[in-house]
């Protein structure tokens, strides 16, 4: 297919100013930080007063690059960074040094099939072609890290398609997985801006077993739909047994803190095929290029 992605727009005068600044004569006045161009002055940009500007930059950069890549919609994958792929699950169990570690390793191994389900679902989503305007639909988008995130990007790569990774700066650096498309691999400082980008183009979200991060992302998503801040989309929780053990959704209804209809905001699924069928039923042919056999 011919690449119709438009070139990235760079303001020529700004480029010229940036280049010229590297050739400035070294005198006391030009050596002082006050003389630096504001957009090249890292100490200035990192000031506490500039936090709103950093918010804006972190919002704008991925938005502009995704727009230039003709990405109209995404299929978002949430899930643990610790669940192993099936081929490596036994290695984790064998490495356990105590009975407690062995129990945890066995539990992670029992969830390893979700790696394959995430990869399979990403393959299905990646088969959706461009629409009549050349825009890409249901582009796979993950947190860019290992485990379930890797499986999602890997599934897209299986189909020869690009995928997005929204990585985050952490105390222990988490490199992007090898299957994220380099030009669609983004790095965030602010969790809030990262979560916003997960949902700005989302047409469906798959939530696999996970910890604090997955809970944070998925519960915020449910809140946004519940309160009308986000239009309803397919929200697919993989692994009913896991999620019902972690969150007692029915108890929230019984306590009167959510409405019975709020339980219809999401669906429990077990397999990629079941999830994809729900996506197809939800849109019922209303998305250009979405073909469900």
Q: pLDDT over 70 for what percent of the chain?
A: 89
Alpha carbons within 13 angstroms on the beta-carbon side of residue 80 total: 19
31 located within any domain: no
Q: Residue 104 belongs to a domain with what CATH number?
A: 3.40.50.450
Report which secondary-structure segment, H or E, holds 225.
helix 212-226
Q: Specify the number of domains making up the chain.
A: 1
23 located within any domain: no
25 located within any domain: no
* pTM higher than the cut 0.95: no
7 located within any domain: no
The whole-angstrom separation of Cα 258 and Cα 246 is 17
Rounded mean pLDDT, 137-160: 97
Nearest to 219 by CA among 240, 249, 239: 249
121 located within any domain: yes
Nearest to 11 by CA among 44, 52, 39: 39
Q: Which of 17-21, 68-72, 282-286 has the highest mean pLDDT?
A: 68-72
pLDDT at residue 293 tops 80: no
Tell me the CA distances in angstroms from 280 to 202, 234, 237, 256, 292, one per residue in order: 15, 9, 16, 32, 6
Q: pLDDT over 90 for what percent of the chain?
A: 80
Rounded mean pLDDT, 57-86: 97
State pLDDT tens for residues 255-266.
Answer: 999 999 999 999
39 located within any domain: no
pLDDT of amino acid 2: 40
Q: Which residue has the higher pLDDT, 287 or 83?
A: 83
34 located within any domain: no
147 and 79 Cβ atoms separated by less than 8 Å:
yes
Cβ count within 10 A of residue 242: 18
54 located within any domain: no
Pairing of β 185-188 and β 164-168: parallel
Q: Which residue has the higher pLDDT, 97 or 24?
A: 97
Question: Which structural domain, as residue segments, surrounds residue 201?
Answer: 71-283
pLDDT at residue 4 tops 90: no
- Split at pLDDT 50, 70, 90, the class of 5 is low
List strands edge to edge, sheet with 74-78: 185-188, 164-168, 139-142, 74-78, 202-207, 235-238, 267-269
pLDDT at residue 173 tops 80: no
């Amino acid at each position: 297919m011919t690449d119709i992605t438009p070139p990235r727009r760079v303001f020529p005068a700004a480029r010229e100013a940036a280049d010229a600044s590297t050739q400035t004569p070294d005198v006391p006045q030009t050596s002082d930080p006050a003389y630096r161009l504001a957009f090249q002055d890292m100490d200035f940009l990192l000031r506490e007063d500039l936090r709103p500007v950093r918010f804006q930059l972190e919002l704008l950069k991925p938005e502009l690059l995704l727009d230039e890549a003709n990405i109209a919609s995404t299929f978002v994958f949430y899930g643990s960074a610790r669940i192993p792929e099936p081929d490596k699950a036994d290695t984790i169990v064998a490495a356990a040094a105590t009975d407690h570690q062995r129990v945890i390793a066995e539990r992670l191994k029992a969830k390893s099939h979700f790696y394959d389900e995430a990869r399979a679902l990403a393959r299905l989503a990646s088969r959706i072609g461009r629409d009549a305007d050349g825009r890409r639909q249901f582009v796979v988008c993950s947190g860019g890290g290992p485990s379930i995130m890797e499986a999602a990007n890997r599934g897209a790569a299986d189909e020869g398609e690009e995928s997005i990774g929204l990585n985050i700066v952490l105390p222990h650096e988490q490199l992007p997985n090898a299957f994220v498309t380099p030009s669609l691999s983004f790095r965030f400082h602010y969790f809030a801006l990262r979560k916003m980008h997960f949902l700005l183009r989302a047409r469906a979200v798959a939530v696999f077993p996970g910890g604090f991060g997955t809970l944070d992302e998925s519960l915020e998503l449910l809140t946004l739909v519940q309160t009308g801040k986000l239009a309803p989309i397919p929200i697919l929780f993989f692994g009913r047994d896991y999620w019902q053990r972690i969150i007692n959704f029915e108890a929230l209804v019984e306590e009167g803190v959510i409405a019975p209809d709020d339980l219809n905001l999401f669906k429990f699924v077990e397999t990629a095929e079941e999830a994809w069928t729900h996506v197809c039923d939800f849109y019922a042919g209303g998305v250009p290029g979405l073909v469900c056999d």
